[in-house]
Structure 1
Amino acid sequence: MQEVYQHFRKEEQPFIDNVQSWVTQTEETYTPYLTDFLDPRQQYIVEMLVGKKGEVHVSFYGGYEDAERRRAIICPEYFEPKKDDFEIELMEVNYPSKFATLSHGKVLGTLTGTGMKRELFGDILFDGLRWQFLLAANIASYVQTQVSKMGNVSVRLESKMYTDLITPIDSWTIVHDTVSSLRLDTVIASIYNISRQRAKELVTSGKVKLNWAAMERPDFELGILDIVSVRGYGRIQIQAIEGKSKKDKWRVEFGVLYK
């Protein structure tokens, strides 16, 4: 395992162990294994680990073509997953949109407030008026009965067909940039054109999330497919690391969502 660990971060080792156990289970039982929703970095790790195994393969799906959070099916060679095999349901939040507003944080906070872990929910979508989210099918009816308010807004959750899926207004802007390092504060400062000190303050004051989890270490080294959310600024994804420039700076392709 040590030679596998060295390609990833120390804190990713428990997840790597999980992936190895899923692969082993698939190999031994010769049946597919369906994961919870994975963030892009986790999907990358699964792809790297499963890619080396000839007798199993992996497929990803998050409920629609460009989904960010996706479930994986690790399966034997004979099995070709169909969309239904991913067991994902689409839910719409009905609310008095003329009189009230919702936010991504409010929707997510309410969903996880039902006692269900974040990994059972996929993307949260907003088209400027309507809110929808994807979730594991086996918890859909429970969540539906549990949620009647988001903050102080009365809501009703309605199950929808995939043909009713809205087109989210968020879209990544591709930015090619050179940065002196892949430290979290350095990347935030460069992308949003703010001072390194200001970027450091945003991180240490709890305004930054890495792959949907709080991150308060300004010196944290980012890697491929990490997603950084900066409150009040937007989101950054490391889409490709293109090597070093002549001045020894990292050339990086970023996806950026501006607030």
Structure 2
Amino acid sequence: MILNRRNFLVLAGSTIGAVTLGACQASGDNITTTESETNVAQNTGFFKLPPLPYSYDALEPHIDARTMQIHHDRHHAAYVKNLNDAIAKYPNLKGQTVEQLLRNMDNVPQDIRTTVRNNGGGHYNHSMFWEIMTPNGGGEPTGEIATAINTAFGNFAEFKRLFNQSGTRRFGSGWVWLVRNPDGKVGVMSTANQDSPLMEGKYPIMGNDVWEHAYYLKYQNRRADYLDAWWNTLNWDEINKRFAASA
């Protein structure tokens, strides 16, 4: 078969597209969800996509509207859809919360375990993420979480430094967390990909998403700048509720 230049370019483009699509699917972070697919994720299946508790632009200038829209409507929606597709194979799992699934990963059937880990973690982590941010947020913590932070780290400034450092040093994609450990004390940790501290027997009180999709449109490769700006969005009332629930 003799290929002319035009046919060669068409075939080459098709091959590159197929390889790229395969790489995106393998990453577990497929953002090709359309608006109609988002609606499906919201309205069907055992797990639901929670609505944002504020408008897309409510966290500007710290997090831009376009990032919020893509992050919620595509990334989070895809995690919900993939999780529902996985557990549809095992009706006995539909009575469990995503927290129960993540705490007991060894009880999840082997053939869907990785899917549940990635997408169940993505669903749980992001559901928390939207709630612990708020318009006109930020400032220093108050209430019991402030006491816990001061006891564990000495002061808020030191906690913030360690938290940002952990987020900056997370290689590749992942999260940085303030967790309550099994001994009741709080600490800072980071996890890879969409892993949750729940998988290690720890309770995530608050966490920041350091995947590039969370900040790249506005901050490009300046993750440290994103981490600094994020503190201006925090909802300390909600974080205090999570701290109380972790006891």
TM-score scaled by structure 1? Answer: 0.31
More helix by share: 2
TM-score scaled by structure 2? Answer: 0.32
Kindly indicate whether structure 1 or structure 2 has the higher relative contact order, using CA contacts under 8 Å at least 6 residues apart. Answer: 2
